[in-house]
Amino acid sequence: MTISTLVKAAATEAATVEFRGLRREFGPTVALDGLDLTVQPGELLALLGPSGCGKTTALRMLAGFEHPDSGQVLVDGEDVTGVPAHRRDAGMVFQSYSLFPHLNALDNVAFGLRMRKVRAAERRTRAAELLELVGLADKGERFPHQLSGGQQQRVALARALALRPRVLLLDEPLSALDAKVRTTLREEIRRLQQELGITTLFITHDQEEALSMADRVAVMRDGRVEQCSTPTELYSRPATAFVAGFVGTMSRVPGVMAAGDTVEVLGRRVPVTGDGAAAGASVDVLLRPEGVEVEPDPEAGGRVAATAFLGATTRITVRLPDGCEVKADVSTRRAGEFPVGARVAVGLPDQAVMVVDRAAR
């Protein structure tokens, strides 16, 4: 069968998902503190945030494994808050080890269909089509222990899609895999999700994964959404210091506000983007490593404290005379000019920078 026929066979109507004011406490812990979030039809939305911020609890509420103390979960406008998990119409892929070990790949994929009393011949055809869709047409007879981690997660994905769910829930599906497999599978999941047009909620700790796969990323903190935006917006216009620090690398360098929404930092005066502060206020200036320039300069006060090879670029950490550190990316071709201990001058291009209150975290 062609891929487009397979996709058509597996596709469903894309649903809208809404979390409205979800609150959930576990004893003294507030896991969700009024979570509001909408996932648009066909969108892949990543929930990103530090450990314990409530990502899993939110996902489990949509799956129906967890129920809120207050608030609602809506799918296509219908309140499903009280609907049990087996009637939620959600396909789920977990971190790992979630396949039934005593069933081969084909039977794993067909399992849900069997529960729904689909006839044996149709089950086998559907399961085979789904395995083909995830590139495992020839592995149907293999048992989980005869498959690699990446292959097992593909089977898990096929199994999640078998019942044509209205939403797909991915709970860190790549975290147990090695880096190379992770990147490949990341691209495959994204392509398949787009082809199927299935509304998908994806949780991850890994900002690179979230930014590279998602249409939008919701950064969570303490049971709430701190910012939900496209990856580009999140990176270039973080709404808070927390988001700025969590998404991408950010240095904090002390500065003093000057007149006309500018800030004095690293011996220069540059414009400020977003909320500034009153002239004379002490602030921290947030700087991305690609927005900082370094030049070898034997007279300068800064010294290279560390270097990290990142491929095409090398990240240089400079310790300034006041003890604060700032990171700058240079082309790896120039990395030899910045050995650890070398004196370097740090400069800023004429770009607007973000400032935050010095106490803000």
Q: Which residues bind ligand ATP (CB under 6 A)?
A: 26, 29, 31, 49, 51-57, 205
Q: Give the residue with the Cβ less far from ligand ATP, 29 or 282.
A: 29
CB of residue 21 to ligand ATP, shortest distance in Å: 17
Please say whether the beta carbons of 214 and 247 come within 8 A. Answer: no
Choose among 331, 335, 305, 337: nearest CA to 319.
305
Single-letter amino acid code for the residue at 212:
S
Q: Could you tell me the end-to-end alpha-carbon distance of the chain, in angstroms, rounded to an integer?
A: 54
Write out the two tokens for 243. 């988001």
The CA radius of gyration of the chain, in Å to the nearest whole number, is 24
Q: How far is CA 294 from the centre of its chain?
A: 30
Listed in sequence order, the residues at least 6 apart from 101 whose beta carbon sits closer than 8 Å to its beta carbon are 143, 144, 145
Q: Cα–Cα distance between 318 and 338 in angstroms, integer?
A: 10
Strand ranges of the sheet holding 29-39, from the earlier edge strand across to the other edge: 29-39, 17-26, 70-75, 78-79
CB of residue 350 to ligand ATP, shortest distance in Å: 39
Distances, alpha carbon 190 to alpha carbons 43, 84, 118, 202, in Å: 11, 28, 29, 11
Q: Give the residue with the Cβ less far from ligand ATP, 60 or 123.
A: 60
CB of residue 95 to ligand ATP, shortest distance in Å: 9
Q: Give the residue with the Cβ less far from ligand ATP, 49 or 71.
A: 49
CB of residue 47 to ligand ATP, shortest distance in Å: 8
Q: Give the residue with the Cβ less far from ligand ATP, 204 or 317.
A: 204
CB of residue 60 to ligand ATP, shortest distance in Å: 8
CB of residue 218 to ligand ATP, shortest distance in Å: 12
Q: Give the residue with the Cβ less far from ligand ATP, 50 or 135.
A: 50
SS3 assignment, position 271: strand
CB of residue 205 to ligand ATP, shortest distance in Å: 5
CB of residue 144 to ligand ATP, shortest distance in Å: 23
Q: Give the residue with the Cβ less far from ligand ATP, 51 or 331.
A: 51
Choose among 357, 329, 358, 353: nearest CA to 265.
353
- Secondary structure of the chain: what % helix, strand, coil (to 5)? 30, 35, 35
Write out the two tokens for 326. 């700032």
SS3 assignment, position 108: helix
Q: Give the residue with the Cβ less far from ligand ATP, 70 or 351.
A: 70
Instruction: Work out the angle between the directed axes of helices 120-133 and 3-10 (0-180°, nearest 10).
Output: 120
CB count within 10 Å of CB 27 equals: 5
Q: Give the residue with the Cβ less far from ligand ATP, 53 or 192.
A: 53
Q: Give the residue with the Cβ less far from ligand ATP, 53 or 93.
A: 53
Q: Cα–Cα distance between 344 and 361 in angstroms, integer?
A: 28
Write out the two tokens for 189. 């999941």
